[in-house]
Structure 1
Amino acid sequence: MVQEGLCVLVPCSFYYPWSSQNYYNILTYWFRGEGNHLTATLVATNYYWNKVKPEIAGRFKLLSDSTNSCSLSITGARKEDQGAYFFRVERGNDKYSYKEKKLNLQVTAQPDIDFEKPLVSGQPARLTCTVWGSCDGKAPLFSWLGDALDSLRSMIKNSQVLCFTPRLQDHGSNLTCRVKVPQAQVSTERTIRLNVSSLKTVQNASSLSILEGQAVRLLCEADSNPPARLSWFRRSLSENDTILSNSSTLELPSVRRTDEGAFTCLAENYLGSQLVFLSLSVNSTPHLQGPSCFWEDKVLHCSCFSQAWPVPSLSWWQEDQALRAINYETSKITTKSEGPWANSTVSLRGGLGAGLRLICKAQNAHGERSSAVLLLTGGRPPPFTCAEQEQGSWPLVLTLIRGGLMGAGFLLTYGLTWIYYT
């Protein structure tokens, strides 16, 4: 193979069993073509009577007059020089064409760019620009051009071997090797498109908060070449973890408190693997239970419970006033919380009039819930109720009337039974 416009030397030697009585000069020939020596094109010979075509003369030369040398020099190679060549030797009546061992000449129009190894983002790379063929005189002049080389010094870019570190953004950009051969007045170049492999995940956030019951779509992205295989796992990656999704997205149509925790995205290609971790927090609006009330030793006790995340705060109100702002001689409010649960108890003694309306209110950053209990009258109510009926003389009169009616009924039943049997 030879670069168009350059030179190539083809070393060659041969052997032929000449007869001992053969005193003729050895004549050597090089032909181009698939036919015999009569139809093929003569390109070089040491027999001055045979003429070579003007466009070929001077560019193909036999290098030695040695009796067993067939070395050939080609200068200023052209595209039309490409093809098959065979060697022929003559000495008197001994003549032979070496058609079983041909020279196949390829003429390329561009230099070759060779990679020591595939390009990987962030890893040093070594590229070589190669021209096939050489000529006597100065060596070819090399230069490299491309956006990936903007930061390199000029002396590094004017060498046959290029050393640089490709970046992710260099993938798909052009790189050109330009070669100039002064003595042959030839300038040629080759441009390639860089294929830079990479594995890089894109993480927009490491944590996410969402309200319970809402839908969420988790997205994992990898800026990689070749494209990375993406999958989602729950918690940390281990052999026992179940794959939740074999794509870049993970759908959670209705988030529950049990979904809270860590999720892992795995990105893989032939360069290796990377993990992206996401912590999911599930928040909720308050759920309220109560209030419920009971009397004990002339003290009214009311309590309520609430569940939410973040844990809600509980407060007691009378109409539109916080209970802590009302001046009761004896009152006590106790509030406790554990995990997502909060409970509050209020104890009131004395000064409780009819129509007392107590409100328990639960509140966090995501919402508010409230519930009320109404104290109907003063006095001591039946157990486990906050409503009370007034006690006095009327209940006693009603009780006596009910007793008289029951007695009269008994006597009437007894009298009718006696009459029936007598």
Structure 2
Amino acid sequence: MSQRPAPSPLLLFLLMIPGVSSADWGVSYSPSHICALKDSSVIMNCTYTYPTGHQIMKVFWTKGDVKEDGEYPDLSEDPEYSQRLQYLGDKQQICTIRLSHVTLEDSRMYYFRFITYNPDGKWIGHSGVTLTVTDLQVKSPERVTEGDSVRLTCRSSCTLTYRATFIWYRNSQPLTAGIFENQLILGKVNREDTGRYRCGVDGHSYRSAAVQLNIRYPPENPVISISPSGEIKKGDSVTLICSSDSNPPAEIRWFKGGTFVGSGRIFNISKISSDDSGEYKCRSTYEHGEKYSDAVTLNIMHPPRDISVLINGSGEIVSGDSVTLICSSDSNPPAEISWFKENESSAVGSGQSFSALQSGRFYCQAHNQHGSQRSDAVTVTVHHGAGRNVIVIAATSGGLFIIIIIIIIILFIM
């Protein structure tokens, strides 16, 4: 109901004139309560009446706060409203306005005020229009696991005055399925449904703040990748990466054989050596269990090392027999073996073993694409004594060991 001001003596005089009453003064709002979306435009429909014989001097809308001079402030003169307020009425009976780009701070009561040229002919529609401006918020479950059905709700602080068609976005891409009024229903979600969700109203640019929907899912069998992927040489730096997609991320631990060697998704080995060769696995541990990767083998390439010559043979050696020498070395890939007689440039044999048929100093040389190394020389001496006595002596040039094999064969004792 519109309220009239306290009657002045002139107004009382007018009321005594036939055909003039307080019912001739009034302001009507439709609707009287408006719920509007933030950043939208609002139409406040309004009509007003006044007695015949009055002429309108000024019309305006106000927030109702009275100034020091007793008059109401005009919203069109308020810097916060002047650029957004458009009067759509006239000076006869229409007082409708449009307020654009409404903000949450615009939520309040608004009133229409008109003034006639008669000093006592002023009126304000005290019933006013209640404007509530709302934003949008997405309500989502706190915990979602792969396979769950999920319901997201687009909420506002009041029920929008106009019928709203809600729209939904995932990572800024519009969604078309599963929308029921202000809800988005996702059936049996999977990890691809993870994303930032927003809601809005069709025909309006405003969007809600984004809500991150995290879909929890267990890890699949982890997989190891090696960098660099090619041949690994002694001294290289090698990185093992364990890929185990899960949400939340699984705890990663590394094992060489059955021995724990590190943790974290990335395992680095700097200046790798042959001691680092072996099988590696990673294990992803999740709240509901754990899974192991397949094993990967680090095969460290290196040149020959620890090369030595062994003498194979025991028992009787007679003139014309041979002495077998064996070359031992550690290399990866396996080395090619060549045999040399000291002070001779050409190889006298190849392969891991060599049969020495004569006296001399012999050594082996091991070679692969990463380098080569030679052994110490071994001395082989065959002595022919009287009767068919044969003495074979083999020794390393370093004197590390002496093997003396004395075979005395007495065919005849005279």
Superposition TM-score tier, normalisation by shorter sequence: 0.3 to 0.5
The answer to which structure has the higher helix fraction is 1
Using the size of structure 1 for normalisation, the TM-score is 0.45
